[in-house]
């Protein structure tokens, strides 16, 4: 995931905060917004439930003691409706419920008030990260990058258009860096088994690929195959 970390940081986290104490609600909204998140604030149970149902949130920060409907009932209702948005509950230490009750109702994590903003932020980040759609890492070698998610290929930062076959070849090389790949191996892995192809076809396509990504990127290992430039 290291190569895609930069992309994750560009991902804007959308949060719903359900908190009826005006000062705490405002402070949370301000603090989380300052962290680059998009924050909606709801101030009672039913409003929070409606927002969680219809908003596309990455996580919900949910107070337990709320007017109209408790946080426990909000999270329980969401889970019965098969809404799995990550929920972090804020429980009061002297509340009538045990702190961990929220987990039984379907919350993912909880914090006891009063809590530190830094801790809240860390727990929220962990919660959101767990639920981010998996992004395949960008493959890179010798100035060539290939993004399996977007099929974008760049050479020294400039996008290059490849045919599907050239793309598949390059991806195979990038997934096997530092070792010699034989023509037979390429035929087995890049060409369809039903295709009538021979080692000459591999040579032809490696030639096409070299013209686009740079001759020096793919080294010929005489009698053995090809190797990606280290
Ligand atoms: Ca409250």
Distance 49 CA to ligand 1 centre (A): 15
Query: Looking at residues 31-53, what average pLDDT do you find?
Result: 95
From the CA of 55, how far away is ligand 1's center (Å)?
Answer: 22
Residue 32 near residue 159 (C-beta atoms within 8 A):
no
**Stretch among 94-103, 129-138, 194-203 having the lowest mean pLDDT:** 94-103
Residue 119 tokens read as: 């801790």
Ligand 1 center to residue 128 CA distance, Å?
23
pLDDT value at 119 more than 90 = yes
Ligand 1 centroid to Cα of residue 83, in Å, is 23
Question: What band does 96 get if pLDDT is binned at 50, 70 and 90?
Answer: low
Res 3: pLDDT: 37
Residue 6's pLDDT band (cuts 50, 70, 90): very low
Q: How many CB atoms lie under 10 A from the CB of residue 201?
A: 17
Q: Bridge-partner residues for 226, per DSSP?
A: 181, 220
Residue 44 CB neighbours (<10 A)? 16
Q: In the predicted model, is pLDDT for residue 230 greater than 90? A: no
């Amino acid at each position: 995931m290291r190569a895609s970390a930069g992309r994750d940081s560009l991902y804007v986290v959308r949060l719903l905060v359900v908190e009826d104490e005006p000062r705490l609600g405002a402070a949370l909204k301000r603090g989380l917004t300052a962290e680059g998140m998009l924050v909606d604030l709801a101030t009672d149970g039913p409003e929070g439930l409606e927002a969680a149902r219809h908003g596309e949130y990455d996580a919900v920060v949910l107070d337990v003691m709320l007017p109209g409907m408790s946080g426990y009932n909000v999270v329980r209702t969401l889970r019965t409706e098969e809404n799995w948005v990550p929920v972090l509950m804020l429980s009061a230490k002297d509340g009538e419920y045990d702190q961990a009750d929220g987990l039984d109702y379907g919350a993912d994590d909880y914090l006891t008030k009063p809590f530190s903003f830094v801790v809240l932020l860390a727990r929220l980040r962990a919660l959101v990260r767990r639920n981010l759609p998996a992004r395949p890492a960008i493959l890179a070698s010798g100035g060539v990058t290939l993004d399996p998610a977007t099929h974008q290929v760049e050479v020294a930062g400039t996008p290059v258009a490849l045919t599907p076959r050239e793309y598949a070849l390059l991806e195979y090389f990038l997934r096997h860096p530092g070792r010699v790949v034989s023509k037979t191996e390429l035929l087995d892995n890049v060409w369809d088994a039903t295709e009538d192809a021979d080692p000459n076809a591999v040579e032809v396509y490696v030639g096409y690929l070299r013209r686009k990504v740079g001759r020096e990127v793919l080294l010929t290992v005489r009698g053995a195959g090809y190797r990606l430039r280290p």
